Structure 1
Amino acid sequence: MTEMLLEDLPGVGPATAEKLREAGFNSIEAVAVASPAELGATAEIGEATAAKIINAARQAADIGGFETGDMVFERRQHIGKINTGCIEFNEMMGGGIESQSITEIYGEFGSGKTQVGHQLAVNVQLSPEQGGLGGSVIIIDTENTFRPDRIQQMVEGKANELGIELDYEDFLKNIHVARAFNSNHQILLVDSAMDLANELKDSDKPVRLLIVDSLTAHFRAEYIGRGTLADRQQKLNKHLHGLQRFANLNNAAVLVTNQVMSKPDAFFGDPTKPIGGHILGHTATFRLYIRKSKGDKRIVKLVDSPNLPEGEAVLSVTRDGIVDA
């Protein structure tokens, strides 16, 4: 079924297929999970026509119907886990950072969010036996935080840990970085990431990880005051659904970092709260809170998960990367 072309769908001629591809709908699965309004607007076709095309794509791709729990269980066996580099962290996450999911990590500046992202960008490229997914990485960098020399240090640390030779230049070649200059550009880069993932699908390093660092920086800077809150949340919601679709279609893990705000009226407990509101809280599959501890130690708390209990893990951020504390 996956080998079906867009032209094989009823009502899709060569011209419509070309418009769909230009709009980023390169596969039957991508069309099947789109909404009629979205497909109609991007491909310049009527909503009624778009609905017919989507229904045909859903039938062809076998998406959208009911299935039994054992079928879902069987499908979940294909989900991959990326080793975080820390045993305690892995155990808390049920084996590592999960593919087909959005994992959000929030914390104040300097807490180690970007360090976790860099470490996963290295680890995902390792073979499954070594704790990776044998894939490449896409990074949408909104705060100019990606550092190739940090990747070099982490690769050298991983080589020492595994007792094998690893070439950091090979790792850097499999990391595709794009700088996002505003929130609109950030959303468009997810479409570009989808195109790149389709190009690399049949290569020896398909895309298995997408990192957005940070998810909310541009939204926070551009939408100021309560009057713009509804627009910001609507746009953020669309962006998150684009990321979830990327994760599902490519069996990839999505890691987003998030900024925090301080609640000065909080008399008890931790006054730091993630921004992005309920929309981000509901859409992220796993929600992690990272905070500083003594020296190079960091405490990561699993705040929300559909299948794992709340827990805490202690890790260290060293020259060699994320390691056991």
Structure 2
Amino acid sequence: MSEMSLEDLDHVGPATAQKLIDAGFNTIEAIAVASPAEIATSADIGESTAAKIINAARKSADIGGFETGDMVLDRRKLVGKLTTGCTEFNEMLGGGVETQSITELYGEFGSGKTQVAHQLAVNVQLPKEKGGLNGSVIMIDTENTFRPERIAQMVDGLSQKHGEDYDPEEFLKHIHVARAYNSNHQILLSDSASELANELKNTERPVRLFIVDSLTAHFRAEYVGRGTLADRQQKLNKHLHDLQRLGDLFNAAVIVTNQVMSKPDAFFGDPTKPIGGHILGHTATFRLYLRKSKGDKRIVRLVDSPNLPDGESIIAVTTEGLQDP
């Protein structure tokens, strides 16, 4: 499968192959999971030709047909679990953060969303026997919150915890960060992330974690008022599907952080509610709500999951990183 080039597909000649590569469709798998309209628009190919190319790619990549439940179960065995560094938090997530899924972290400012993202960027680089995925990280930073100094503190924390001498610089070398300046730039960066992940695919450190911190900040700032809501949601929807596709293609975990809004008309219960509406609610596989508690403690609640019960766990955000309270 990996030996095949794009030109081996039916209806793809050298010129068409080049157009597809220029549009970011570098692999047969990437074409197989795209839609005809997407390929037609970005690669300047007729929609009927695009549909034929996609069908040929699906046959070659063995994607898109019906399967029996036991085959799906076998494939689920490839799904990795990434440790959060906290026992209770891991148990609530059924062993850790899943690959091939989008995990959304939402909460007020200071609730620890970025801290969890930083910790996962460190943990994913650990060997599998220590709860990592032996991989590297791609991070899209929309609010200028990435701090290499924080990564260094967390790596020192891991050195103490595991009794090993980890080098913070080595960890930082495997975190690829890009600053997104607006929502269009953010969407373009998810395409660049795909190219970078493809380059690293067969190296010692393939990309096993994609982080977008924060997913909704630019969308919220640029699309103001009810009149722009449909356009905003449509763009957000496509962006989320692009991220899900990255998770599927590279067997990586996708972490997105999300802001909240206050509902002043809520007389009962918690008045905070995540941005992004139903589109984000339906697309995120796991939704985690973080809120402050006493001191360095944070309460993490699993609000939505396809296979796990709702639950709560307490974590401590310390100088050394996330720890059991």
- Shorter-normalised TM-score: what interval? over 0.9
Shift of 1:4: 1.2
Distance in 1, Cα, partners of 2:89 & 2:275: 24
Shift of 1:215: 0.1
Distance in 2, Cα, partners of 1:321 & 1:13: 52
TM-score by length of 1: 1.00
The answer to whether the Cα contact below 8 Å between 1:112 and 1:298 also exists between their aligned partners in 2 is: yes
Report the secondary structure of 2:184's partner residue.
helix
CA displacement 1:190-224 (0-9 Å, x = unmatched) = 11000000100111000000000000000000000
What is aligned with 2:16? 16
Report the AA paired with residue 248 of structure 1: D
Question: What RMSD, in angstroms, separates the aligned Cα atoms of the two structures?
Answer: 0.4
CA displacement 1:85-127 (0-9 Å, x = unmatched) = 1000000000000000000000000000000000000000000
What is aligned with 1:214? 214
Extract structure 1 runs of 4+ deviating beyond 3 A. Answer: none
Distance in 2, Cα, partners of 1:72 & 1:165: 40
Distance in 2, Cα, partners of 1:228 & 1:216: 14
What is aligned with 2:82? 82
Report the secondary structure of 2:202's partner residue.
coil
Shift of 1:3: 2.1
1:128 to 2:138 alignment: no
The answer to whether the Cα contact below 8 Å between 1:99 and 1:247 also exists between their aligned partners in 2 is: yes
Unpaired runs of 5+ in structure 2?
A: none
Shift of 1:47: 0.2
Distance in 1, Cα, partners of 2:38 & 2:318: 45
Distance in 2, Cα, partners of 1:51 & 1:121: 37
1:297 to 2:308 alignment: no
Distance in 1, Cα, partners of 2:266 & 2:317: 29
Distance in 2, Cα, partners of 1:22 & 1:87: 45
Distance in 2, Cα, partners of 1:292 & 1:247: 29
Report the secondary structure of 1:10's partner residue.
coil
CA displacement 1:162-191 (0-9 Å, x = unmatched) = 001100000000000000000000000011
What is aligned with 2:270? 270
What is aligned with 1:246? 246
Report the AA paired with residue 45 of structure 1: I
What is aligned with 1:26? 26
Distance in 1, Cα, partners of 2:165 & 2:20: 44
Shift of 1:262: 0.3
Unpaired runs of 5+ in structure 1?
A: none
What is aligned with 1:43? 43
Report the secondary structure of 2:139's partner residue.
strand
CA displacement 1:34-80 (0-9 Å, x = unmatched) = 00000011110100000000000001111000000000000010111
Aligned pairs for 1:299-318 (under 5 A) are 299-318=299-318
Report the AA paired with residue 202 of structure 1: N
The answer to whether the Cα contact below 8 Å between 1:209 and 1:253 also exists between their aligned partners in 2 is: yes
Count, aligned residues: 325
Distance in 1, Cα, partners of 2:262 & 2:108: 9
1:52 to 2:46 alignment: no
What is aligned with 2:286? 286
The answer to whether the Cα contact below 8 Å between 1:2 and 1:61 also exists between their aligned partners in 2 is: no
Distance in 2, Cα, partners of 1:26 & 1:187: 18
Distance in 2, Cα, partners of 1:31 & 1:66: 19
Distance in 1, Cα, partners of 2:232 & 2:44: 26
Report the AA paired with residue 169 of structure 1: E
Report the secondary structure of 2:24's partner residue.
coil
Report the secondary structure of 1:239's partner residue.
helix
Distance in 2, Cα, partners of 1:323 & 1:165: 19
Report the AA paired with residue 112 of structure 1: G
Shift of 1:2: 2.7
The answer to whether the Cα contact below 8 Å between 1:208 and 1:253 also exists between their aligned partners in 2 is: yes
What is aligned with 2:148? 148
Shift of 1:300: 0.2
Report the secondary structure of 1:247's partner residue.
helix
The answer to whether the Cα contact below 8 Å between 1:84 and 1:123 also exists between their aligned partners in 2 is: yes
Report the secondary structure of 1:111's partner residue.
coil
Distance in 2, Cα, partners of 1:85 & 1:226: 41
Report the secondary structure of 1:146's partner residue.
coil
Distance in 2, Cα, partners of 1:200 & 1:55: 27
